[in-house]
Amino acid sequence: MARRKFVCGNWKMHKTAAEATALVKELAAGVAEAARAGEVQVAVAPPFTALHAVATALAGTGIELAAQDVHWEAQGAFTGAISAAMLADACCTHGIVGHSERRQLFGETDEGVRRKAAALLGAKIRPIVCVGETLAEREADRTLEVVGRQVRQGLQGLSPEQLRQLTVAYEPVWAIGTGRTATAAQAQEVHAALRKILRELGGPVADEVRIQYGGSVKPENAAELMSQPDVDGALVGGASLKAKDFLAIVKGALR
């Protein structure tokens, strides 16, 4: 079945509120027409401190707002954490969980990903669940084993209807911020394997779930990657910080 392409820019720890608003204004004119026409779904994920300012700037543009992380508890003594209700209050429609940087640098676990995804769903926010293997795991031919475990454990217990609400993002760790990118064939192989696992978990709903590719997505490779049958968009890091590059990637989704 045809799945609408979904491109999300993950700004990571970049941009003050003023800088984020300026970038949104640059993006708006280029993205709005395609987004409003429903040709491609576009979102940006600024840092927490810029969410409210960006939400205001995004009004009427067709671009949606995503958060970079969330805590699974509704409230409590969790210094520095942000709840799903707080993200909903900031007008977020999507939330990234399980990003490799959270896994590697902050001890994110598959169980934590599962709990965070459930918390987002409970607040009517759509999770973007990230999975991906390290270079050592790929060289050991363990890619499908690793991403398979991450998907099965990260989505364990979710109903088919809940699965329908989320996006999976395949981000090979060895390609994030390194300039190295999986070939279109490599990306398709993993995406097809992920789709098969989603069928095990949710049956026919798997054909509705978008699977993004992330990992040094650039204007030069975006169209080829997203032309693959199971690559349904992109989770874009560094290239999303420059309006010209991000707009070129969005255009690549339209081909």
Domains of the chain by residue range? 69-241
Which of 64, 71, 94, 99 is the catalytic position? 99
Q: What pLDDT is attached to residue 177?
A: 77
Q: Please count the residues of the chain.
A: 255
Please tell me the number of Cα atoms within 13 Å of 167 on its side-chain side. Answer: 32
Residue whose C-alpha is closest to residue 72's, from 127, 125, 131, 114: 114
In b/e form, how buried is each residue of 65-83, taking b as 16+ CB within 10 angstroms? Answer: bbbbbbbbeeeeeeeeebb
| Predicted local confidence at residue 175, as pLDDT | 83
Look up the pTM and report it: 0.96
Task: Specify whether 161 is catalytic.
Answer: no
Burial 143-177 (b: 16+ CB within 10 A, else e): beebbbebbeebbeebeeebbebbbbbbbbbbbbe
* Per-residue pLDDT, 35: 63
Query: Are the C-beta atoms of residues 161 and 118 closer than 8 Å to each other?
Result: no
pLDDT attached to residue 181:
78
The whole-number pLDDT of residue 174 equals 86
Helices (H) and strands (E) in the chain, counts: 11, 8
Q: Cα dihedral sign for 12, 94, 82, 173?
A: negative
Note the pLDDT tens digit of each residue in 185-196: 999 999 999 999
- In the structure encoding, which two tokens stand for residue 175, read together? 């390609």
With H, G, I as helix, E, B as strand and everything else as coil, classify residue 131.
strand
From the candidates 64, 108, 133, 171, give the one annotated as an active-site residue.
171
Q: What is the CATH number of domain 69-241?
A: 3.20.20.70
Look at residue 234 in the predicted model and tell me its pLDDT.
97
Alpha-carbon distance of 162 to 29, in angstroms, equals: 33
Distance CA 100, CA 93 (A): 21
Are residues 97 and 147 in contact, defined by beta-carbon separation less than 8 angstroms? no
Whole-number pLDDT of residue 102: 96
CA 119 to centroid of chain Cα atoms: 16
The residue type found at 250 is V
Name residues whose C-beta falls within 8 Å of residue 146's C-beta, 6 or more positions apart in sequence. 131, 132, 133, 134, 137
Instruction: State residue 128 phi and psi, 5-degree precision.
Output: -110, 105
* One pLDDT digit (tens) per residue for the chain, 255 residues: 689 999 999 999 999 999 999 999 999 988 876 666 678 999 999 999 999 999 999 998 989 999 999 999 999 999 999 999 999 999 999 999 999 999 999 999 999 999 999 999 999 999 999 999 999 999 999 999 999 999 999 999 999 999 999 999 999 998 887 878 789 999 999 999 999 999 999 999 999 999 999 988 999 999 999 999 999 999 999 999 999 999 999 999 986
Identity of the residue numbered 107 = G
- Asked about 39 being catalytic, the answer comes back as no
pLDDT of residue 4: 94
